[in-house]
A and B are shown apart, each in its own frame.
Chain A
């Protein structure tokens, strides 16, 4: 399969994603420059973490207007897989590809620490290699990661099983202490209704090798590989 990793000015984790996909998972990956139009035929596009355009306004607010995003919105509408990590999640929400918003952490500080995530749903291309209620240990590192959606939207997310990850403690239970940013309903990651676009705040690419202390992040990338390579799992791709 073919991957694209978008490079906005201010992307920081683009190389991390690239290295993880090429070195660990031996995938074919290309960088997509923000000023270019999307041309290539790709299977999955990753919007990496960082501070696109400096994010001096609201995180992701400027990036959504970049030339590359036009093609990505179209690609997503046609069922292409789009994964947004951290700043990428913020951009997807700003672009309307994902519901909800990411606001300033409730403690008003940047937070960097390992967290536990509980995998809530497995019938998506981003989670199909995992098991329901499985715990993943990944780092978060963000200043604006507090997920918010209004009650009606939340109910819809719940009903459509679009909430894919929640922050939990090492025993798998949600709690205020285990929630690093005050996200509503402990939400760490969601997908769209079509289940082909996902955003999450934690960074799977920084926890995909034993030497880095956790390989749990691979679960997400290898789900995508599995979904794209096994035809029986390509249902989402239309």
Chain B
């Protein structure tokens, strides 16, 4: 049995190896000694190691994240809380955030993904919001990689298994396959909740003598040092990290959710925080940090799942489905009764103190005594060296004259539609409950999901987007495009963006090339957010996505939320009736760098990502939104991976039942493959009634948007004159079955 460590009996693990095994550098250890005025004991070392981990402290990213614009007319809460909050009118607020669970999901895909969903749900309801919709953004290795299917199966089942059981619909997402993720998949989970504006709960511990109440599942030995694991890169030995992955219990989460929301209707609660990464330690220390107070915990009172747990283990456990509440003195029993009704443990484990210390005792003996500031405000901040690698020039070289235009462009189109990155993701989203809570207006498969807000005419549109390949080729432009495309997705359904949350997935920050990618992506996102007037309200940084020194593509994922004042006016991407005109908003350019076509047909990941003019981007989005508001848009679809030809097929076959044909005339202005498959930005395909054309042209002219009539909806064939002529039903089956066929 582990012995209680005290200052007098400094254990052997405070050797240089013991310190390093806690993920702390020698310099960091010296800083700890300086802040404490003495050596830490073993338990304290554990506390510092998780609180100063990259995952909890953002020590390498903090100074760069400051560049992102975080203010806007709708913002009620920007970054720094458990989740961001925007005003949606009528006294209501939307609370949302995205978070990564990459490493656990690679080690144990089902539980890793499931607990990722559990964690983000708690971040939302801890703010006082009822979660009403989730999204996810997934990256897997090449489809031919032996582990990909296993990981895909496990992650999708895990997300469904957890979200479905808690009763929160998964209404959208994205899935992308590329060999750069072979040994480091990405699982980013997003949740949005709705709260009353006046009833938001901060993660703050204030009011001397108020009680800290532990609620939810019991504490076990699982997940100890999960935060530290998330802050180091994988090596071949990653399998041995399996015990650091937690096991999820969605049923307990559901009870915790209902009980917390019930408590929040009463007047007992001061603050609340999920015991997520770094568990009891981070929840109590962070709440005290925000409240300018201290906390005193009696660890012998914590409900335990196993006997013989040490203070070190109790403080660092990442057992799931646990929350820490700050409850008004005198209201403890009333609060506990609510949890008893839901058959959950609720125990007073400590109190708020004025001394600004993090203190914990165990069996009457003090085992931790650390100034709160040492764990929060005074945690290290690094300005890591960043340098553009010389290899970047080589990557960006693309000699189009050496890329042959395929003879059979119809066959190329079918290959694209059949590829896992473009084919329908039906196999994935059919495993998620998309409808529970009966708000889902536009289910997965469209540019953005749309949910209605009960009791109002409003709707919210949600999307997640990111393209690692673009960021790899040019991280600055890639950062711009991630934000621009998310906003364009919202415009296509008729929603005005309110704010975004970002999940920044990168390699190790000690690598100057990675740090360069990171700072460039941030700069790009900043410029895009500013130009499109979308503030960042919450987010998450995930570094160390690399294996044996090889980082993934820099992959920022943007989750964006927009408002539809009248939800019944929403638009979907699918053509509606024969005879409608197909119109392009925006401009085709001859560019193929970073395209899915170049990768699939020529095996090339080269060149520069598509060019973007943010003024045109904004104009195209405004034009689409105005035309939707005036009721003239029958369908709208963003052109992205696979270019114009793929987007047109999706307009024809993506709807739930009937497919419609289309006849397009594409004048010879550039190379044929660029015309069909180029991924030029700021383009939206809309369909309108013929007699609305002049009204649309008037709006477009005012906004300064080029408009081009491409053709007409109708028939049973997919015709792009003079390049492609195929049966729509054939394209539909290729696109619908592309993913499923490979998984059977």
Contact = CB atoms under 8 A, between A and B. Distances in A.
Contacts of A141: 164, 433-436
Interface string B409-431: 00000000000000000000111
Contacts of B165: 10, 12, 51, 54-55
Contacts of A55: 165, 251
A112 B441 contact: no
B438 A16 contact: yes
A15 B255 CA distance: 15
Given A9-B342, A10-B254, A110 B164 contact: yes
A109 B437 contact: no
B438 A111 contact: no
Interface string B452-496: 101000000000000000000000000000000000000000000
B436 A206 contact: yes
Given A13-B436, A206-B435, A211-B441, A114 B255 contact: no
15 contacts: A9-B342, A12-B436, A23-B454, A51-B254, A54-B252, A55-B251, A110-B161, A110-B164, A110-B432, A110-B433, A141-B164, A141-B435, A141-B436, A170-B657, A208-B438
Contacts, number: 92
Counting contact residues on chain A (CB < 8 A from B), the size range is 35 or more
Contacts of A185: none
Nearest to B436: A12
Interface in B156-174: 157, 160-161, 164-167
A35 B166 CA distance: 20
Nearest to B170: A112
A10 B167 CA distance: 8
Contacts of A112: 429-435
A205 interface: yes
Nearest to A17: B438
Interface in A40-68: 49-51, 53-56
Contacts of A203: 435
A15 B437 contact: yes
A205 B255 contact: no
A110 to B, nearest CB: 5
Interface of B: 157, 160-161, 164-167, 249-252, 254-255, 342-343, 429-438, 440-441, 452, 454, 567-568, 656-657
B431 A111 contact: yes
B440 A212 contact: yes
Contacts of B656: 114
Interface string A1-40: 0000000011111011001100100000000000000000
Contact of A19 (B161, B164, B167, B438): B438
Contacts of B431: 109-112
Contact of A9 (B255, B429, B452): B255
The 5 A-B pairs with the shortest beta carbon distances in the complex, nearest first, are A12-B167, A54-B251, A16-B438, A206-B435, A141-B433
B430 A211 contact: no
Contacts of B434: 112, 139, 141
Interface of A: 9-13, 15-16, 19-20, 23, 49-51, 53-56, 109-114, 139, 141, 143, 170, 203, 205-206, 208-209, 211-213
Given A9-B343, A51-B165, A51-B251, A205 B438 contact: yes
B250 A54 contact: yes
B167 A13 contact: yes
A11 B437 CA distance: 11
A60 B246 CA distance: 27
Most buried by A among B429, B435, B567: B435
Contacts of A143: 164
Contacts of A51: 164-165, 250-251, 254
A212 B438 CA distance: 7
A129 B425 CA distance: 37
A54 B252 CA distance: 8
A110 B428 CA distance: 10
A175 to B, nearest CB: 16
Given A10-B251, A54-B250, A111 B430 contact: yes
Contact of A212 (B161, B167, B441): B441
Contacts of A54: 165, 249-252
Contact of A16 (B250, B252, B436): B436
A219 B643 CA distance: 43
